[in-house]
Amino acid sequence: MAQGEDPDGRHGTLLPSRLHLLLLAVLEFVMGAEAVALCFSQQWMHVFVTILLMAMIAFPALFPARMPIQIPSEIQIFVVLFLFATLFLGEVRDFYHRIWWWDLALHGTSGILLGLLGFLVVYVLNENELVDMRMPPSFVALFAFHFAVSLGAVWEIFEFTMDQLAGTDMQKAMWGDPSGLTDTMWDLIVDTLGALVMALAGWRYMRRARHERTDHWLRRFVDRHPNLFARF
């Protein structure tokens, strides 16, 4: 038993839950104050984005029973921070134009996180005794890579659609290209690199775990959150 962990494992999830709620309160306060300021300046599109984001990140914490699955606080923290950095700091506070590398950093992070998500999904199915399949590490890594790249491409389609229909500027006219095509291509390139890093790391992890007959942190993560990876 790990130091500081009680027998039923509740202590191990207590700190992330408190951290999640504290982070949520701080971010909601910051965005609420910004929404009020935006109302005075009549920037209604940014007001809408800010209020929508506040609702998106608060709903899972305030109404967990309405969620189809119980999402661990650790994952919610990462998602909340990513949404805050992308939609609030990036779009509302205009970090995409103020900091030239902001968009690239977020897309690289999203590639890694989406690759991790794809890897976790296939890994759990692969290791579950009720699912009759046994995939090699190379296939799991390949799926995680394509999963992340595909969702990255879907996001770029969403940006293009919003710019065309709602008049937003999600495809930034940067890199000397007013059309936004260069920005889109760099986003996809960084998404792909992030997904590749995660896929290679996952492939190496699975090969090592099977060779040593141990699952290290991933098995502990799955066992710690049975509601996320429903085992019947």
Domain ranges of the chain: 10-70, 94-232
pLDDT in tens, 2-40: 444 444 444 444 455 777 788 888 988 989 988 898 898
Tokens of 23: 């982070």
Q: Tell me the residue type at 106.
A: L
C-alpha 87/C-alpha 61 separation (Å) is 19
**Chain centroid, CA 122 distance in Å:** 17
Q: Residue 8 has what pLDDT?
A: 42
Distance CA 39, CA 179 (A): 30
Confidence (pLDDT) at 7: 42
What's the pTM?
Answer: 0.65
**Residue 8 half-sphere exposure toward CB, CA atoms < 13 A:** 2
- Tens of pLDDT along the chain (232 residues)? 444 444 444 444 445 577 778 888 898 898 998 889 889 888 887 788 788 888 888 888 777 777 655 666 767 787 788 888 887 888 788 887 888 888 888 888 888 888 888 877 777 666 655 555 567 888 888 988 999 999 889 988 988 888 888 777 777 666 566 677 888 888 899 999 999 998 898 888 877 766 665 555 566 666 666 665 554 4
| Three-state secondary structure call for residue 70 | coil
